[in-house]
Amino acid sequence: MPALRSIWKGHIRFSLVTIPIRVYNAVDTAESVSFNQIHRDDNGRVGYDKVCKKCGQHLEMADIVKGYQYEPDHYVIFEKDDLDKLKLKSTKVIDIEGFVDESEVDMTLYEAPYYAGPDGDVAAKTYGLLSTALRESGKLGVGKVVLRDREDIVMIAPKGDGIVLYRLRYPKEVRKIADVPLVEKRVANKEEVKLAQSLIDSMTTDFKSLKLENRYNEAVKELVKAKIQGKEIVAIEEEEPEVIDIMTALKQSIEQAKGGKKPMEKVTGEKAAAREKSSAKAKTKSKTKSKARKTAA
């Protein structure tokens, strides 16, 4: 596997302690399936021309500036020099502003993970010290950094022997759950709650045991393979789940979980064809035996 390439170089600083680091993407984008836009008639790639919606003119990058809309169709224009004048201090330094418990950070604030590694042998000792101190204290560092022309909040957490940075959203960016329609406090039936808790207990496992695979990506890859081989694509319609009484559903779910029964598997593609073939053979064999019995009689 090729070595990770850093996307940012700077320092983590808390009080008078400074650690040179390099930041790496934690997410492997190669695992994602991507498509190109293609002209149906000749398979040519479709380009993305920059066209002014007002005058229809095709533009070069030099013709384009940033604008902030303060009223409909009224913009304040920003040149690159204007934004450079901001001179935010955290362009190359992640200043830790404090340490908090993980439970204090709402999960909706998490946006993207990055790995941080020491920048050179000299930094490795201090880097290891911060990682160990975070792990043993159970605390997370919260700081700010400028990445791609915007100041972001980052949370600094231990991961194994290293450090992971989570880019966070600002609390004001996240809407309130109370704003979701029909979300309101209701008095739950005690018996239903007890059954629901029992079901949760029976389904409790560890995270590593869960099969969290990207089934859509794999299905698309199989579809690509089938199209290349010129195979016919057969769509399998998924049945709508049956809505049943909540108490009945809870009781049956608990029985199923305790009995170790697995829900019925949806059969698609080659599995479906194999089962149909096997079923047809069984029916033919059964008819032959029945015919033989009648002849013998």
pLDDT over 60 at 273, yes or no: no
- The pLDDT, as a whole number, for residue 246 is 73
List all residues 6 or more positions away from 118 whose beta carbon is below 8 Å from its beta carbon: 19, 20, 21, 22, 124, 126, 127, 128
pLDDT over 80 at 166, yes or no: yes
Helix (H) / strand (E) element for 162: namely strand 162-168
Q: pLDDT: is 90 or 140 the higher one?
A: 140
The answer to whether the pTM exceeds 0.75 is no
pLDDT over 50 at 266, yes or no: no
Helices (H), the chain: 80-84, 121-137, 190-203, 215-228, 246-258, 269-296
Distance between terminal CA atoms of the chain?
71
Q: pLDDT: is 182 or 56 the higher one?
A: 56
How sure is the predictor about 114, in pLDDT bands with cuts at 50, 70 and 90? very high
pLDDT over 70 at 152, yes or no: yes
Residues above pLDDT 90, as percent of the chain: 30
Helix (H, G, I), strand (E, B) or coil at 103: helix
Instruction: Give the Cβ contact number of residue 289 at 10 Å.
Output: 10
For all residues of the chain together, what is the average pLDDT? Answer: 79
CATH 2.40.290.10 range(s) for the chain read: 8-29+86-173
pLDDT-wise least confident of 84-88, 173-177, 222-226: 84-88
How sure is the predictor about 278, in pLDDT bands with cuts at 50, 70 and 90? low
Q: Which fold has domain 8-29+86-173?
A: Ku70; Chain: A; Domain 2 (2.40.290)
Give 21-48 pLDDT, tens digit per residue: 999 999 887 767 778 888 888 888 888 8
